[in-house]
């Protein structure tokens, strides 16, 4: 009996919101933006002699574009995706998040979430406080170099994120 009352109350609350409250307008990464980012990342890494893999994710963590480097390890694309996912999820670089979640820190438990990875090379794509996607790079000889290449991709589209 109580279940019917609770269900009726929940339906009543849901129906009391105006229909216009259900409409959302969201910004996201376009296919063209993903391609521009990938090209900029690859160019930045190649000038330093790195063959990397790049993943560009949309606002909910789906691939918008990716490229497996010619000489990159087979695992690099998965690492790039997870670095991007980490940056997207926490709205900060994956390197910064990794530093905030080291063992002994209060946020260390976040490392137990699935799909996140405490490695540098992920950079969020932000418009104000809103994460609309992320870039992940893997394959350079160091996480700082992966992140520098990802930031080169971000710099290429920075004007579009204002």
**What integer pLDDT is reported at residue 57 of this predicted model?**
98
Nearest of 45, 73, 69, 65 to residue 145 by alpha carbon: 45
- Quick one: CATH architecture of 27-161? 2-Layer Sandwich (3.30)
Paired residues of 63 in beta bridges: 57
- Is residue 117 within 8 Å of residue 152, measured between CB atoms? no
Residue 3's pLDDT is 53
| Residue 130, phi then psi, degrees to nearest 5 | -100, 125
Nearest-angstrom CA–CA distance, 51 and 41: 10
> Confidence class of residue 17 from pLDDT cuts 50, 70 and 90?
low
- pLDDT over 60 at 79, yes or no: yes
pLDDT band at 12 (very low <50, low <70, confident <90, very high): low
Integer CA distances (angstroms), 51 to 93, 124, 137, in order: 21, 22, 10
Backbone φ, ψ for residue 82 (5° rounding): -70, -35
pTM of structure: 0.86
Show me where the domains of the chain are located. Answer: 27-161
- What's CA 125's distance to the chain center, in Å? 7
Give the residue-averaged pLDDT of 75-103: 98
pLDDT above 90: residue 2: no
pLDDT at 45 over 80: yes
- The answer to whether residue 68 scores a pLDDT higher than 90 is yes
Residue 127 CA to residue 55 CA, distance in Å, equals 19
Determine the pLDDT at residue 5: 60
**Residue 61, both tokens:** 């963590």
- Alpha-carbon 68 to chain mean position: 17
Q: With 80 as the cut, is the pLDDT of residue 14 above it?
A: no
- Which residue reads 């918008």 in tokens? 64
Reading the block at residue 62, the tokens are 């789906």
Would the pLDDT of 13 be above 90? no
Q: What is the pLDDT of residues 108-140, one digit of tens each?
A: 999 999 999 999 999 999 999 999 999 999 999
Residue 22's pLDDT is 78
């Amino acid at each position: 009996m109580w279940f019917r009352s609770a269900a009726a109350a929940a339906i009543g609350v849901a129906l009391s919101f105006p229909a216009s409250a259900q409409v959302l307008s969201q910004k996201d990464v376009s296919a063209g933006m993903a391609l521009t980012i990938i090209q900029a990342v690859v160019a930045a890494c190649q000038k330093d002699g790195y063959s990397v893999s790049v993943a560009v994710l949309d606002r909910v963590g789906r691939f918008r574009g990716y490229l497996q480097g010619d000489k990159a390890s087979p695992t690099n694309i998965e690492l790039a995706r997870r670095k991007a996912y980490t940056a997207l999820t926490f709205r900060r670089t994956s390197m910064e998040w990794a530093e905030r979640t080291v063992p002994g820190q209060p946020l260390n438990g976040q490392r137990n979430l699935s799909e996140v990875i405490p490695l540098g090379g992920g950079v969020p794509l932000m418009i104000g406080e809103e994460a609309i996607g992320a870039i992940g790079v893997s394959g350079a000889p160091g996480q700082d170099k992966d992140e520098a290449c990802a930031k080169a991709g971000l710099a290429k589209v920075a004007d579009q994120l204002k």
